[in-house]
Amino acid sequence: MTKLDNVRVLMIATDGYEEAELFAPREALLQAGAQVVLASVDTQPIVGVVYDAATGKSPESKQSITPDMTLGDVDTAQFDAIVLPGGLVNPDKMRMQPKAIEIVAAFADQGKPVAAICHAPWLLIEADLLRGRRATGWYSVRKDMENAGAVVVDEAVVVDGNIITSRMPDDIPAFNAAVIAALAG
């Protein structure tokens, strides 16, 4: 197993994150030895959703998580990568936070891995990071990605330089493996 000792990963999320897309990558990174820090708009507990493919609904999760810090407290120099969980509501709220977009752009500018799953590529669009890049995302955001200049493909995970994108909860194993591989260098 890859060991990520001394690696620090930032995740940013708010209410409405897809539960599996926050907790599964977080757990995989922690098991690999990385330190994972969650930032949000404030430090109140946030609640996700659990998408049900059979019904197409996303009922509120029974599980919440308390952010470690606010977006305003993030110093990107202290982290080696950023992971952006999806869900429909979370990335939509986060892309309206100028500080969140500033953080995402800073990671990209520093050449650090920027990993986004599901609807989270909306943050990459807001930070203008997809122009000319191969990428993937949830079905309903693909046209937005295309309009932002991405070459959109239908693959479980796409790595283009330091940008890692993935489609949905079913792709989490491939997403986690790509993130860990990028951090292992």
Residues annotated as catalytic (active site), given as ranges: 118-119
User: What value, to the nearest 5°, has the Cα angle with vertex 57 and ends 38 and 126?
Assistant: 45
Residue 184 backbone dihedrals phi, psi, to 5 degrees: -75, -20
Residue length of the chain: 185
Is there a contact between 27 and 4 (Cβ–Cβ < 8 Å)?
Answer: no
**Which stretches of the chain are DSSP H helices?**
19-31, 89-94, 98-109, 121-126, 142-147, 172-184
